[in-house]
């Protein structure tokens, strides 16, 4: 049974960063959330929700997230409220005292965490964790006062146009590829962890709002997301081909 969304009590503004430009909202639990709704597209919402559950299950430091929803009367008060909409949306809780992760922070991230993020993104075909000396946006935050890494934004997970070579060249933690993918022991440990994390998949799918399964509000056109296709993608972690990553 789908969870009841948290009610959005106040729309405070909208981010100028990121393709989906999430809304900053205060919800009924008193917390601030970055919210992606109607304008983000169904596939983006599916990706955030399902990848978020997998990341949580794998032990990655993702902010708490929830389904959230605004009343139509509140949406109408905001000049860009149409992009938020009044249907269930995805909300990621705002993490205070953080900054965007930069190249100078990479060595501060513990090696096991770098490898976990790398393997996770390869697993879910996430193309949006890039950072080189020239450009990129890793969608990672670094907490002040030694609070460490925060992993955010999975709207491009399960990318059907995923390019393995580009992934190897641009992923922020690409230097860890040989230590993980060319090792004899590391893959064995990761297979067990990934399979265990997959246990979160059925409940995550079951709790997807019914509205998301359709591209239109009238619920006549199926959304462009097939969880069975993506589950097959995830299940490849059990085969040797998963670990053949060219560098």
Question: Using one digit for the tens of pLDDT, what is the confidence trace for 44-85?
Answer: 999 999 999 999 999 999 999 999 999 999 999 999 999 999
Digit-coded pLDDT (tens) for 80-122 = 999 999 999 999 999 999 999 999 999 999 999 999 999 999 9
Give 130 or 19, the one with higher predicted confidence: 130
Q: Which residues contact 1 (CB under 8 A, 6 or more apart)?
A: 206, 207
| Nearest Cα residue to 68 out of 30, 13, 14 | 30
Q: Residue 246: what pLDDT?
A: 59
Digit-coded pLDDT (tens) for 199-211 = 999 999 999 999 9
Cβ neighbours, 10 Å, residue 146: 7
Q: Residue 2: what pLDDT?
A: 53
Tokens of 236: 């490849």
CA distances for 16 relative to 6, 13, 24, angstroms: 24, 10, 11
Q: Residue 242: what pLDDT?
A: 96
Q: What is the pTM of this model?
A: 0.95
């Amino acid at each position: 049974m789908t969870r009841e969304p948290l009610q959005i009590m106040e729309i405070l503004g909208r981010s100028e960063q990121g393709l989906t430009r999430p809304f900053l909202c205060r919800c009924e639990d008193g917390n601030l959330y970055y919210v992606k709704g109607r304008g983000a597209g169904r596939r983006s919402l599916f990706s955030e929700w399902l990848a978020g559950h997998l990341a949580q299950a794998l032990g990655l430091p993702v902010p708490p997230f929830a389904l959230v929803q605004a009343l139509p009367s509140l949406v109408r008060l905001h000049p860009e409220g149409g992009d938020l909409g009044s249907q269930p949306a995805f909300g990621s809780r705002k993490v205070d005292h953080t900054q965007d992760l930069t190249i100078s922070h990479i060595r501060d991230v513990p090696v096991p965490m770098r490898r976990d993020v790398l393997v996770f993104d390869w697993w879910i075909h996430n193309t949006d964790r890039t950072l080189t000396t020239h450009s990129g946006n890793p969608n990672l935050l670094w907490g002040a006062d030694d609070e460490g890494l925060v992993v955010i934004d999975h709207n491009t997970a399960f990318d059907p146009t995923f390019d393995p070579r580009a992934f190897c060249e641009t992923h922020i933690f690409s230097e860890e590829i040989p230590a993980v993918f060319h090792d004899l022991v590391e893959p064995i440990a990761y297979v067990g962890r990934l399979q265990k994390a997959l246990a979160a998949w059925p409940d995550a799918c079951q709790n997807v709002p019914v509205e998301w399964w359709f591209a239109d509000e009238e619920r006549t056109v199926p959304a462009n997301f097939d969880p069975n296709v993506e589950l097959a993608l995830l299940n490849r972690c059990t085969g040797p081909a998963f670990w053949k990553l060219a560098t």
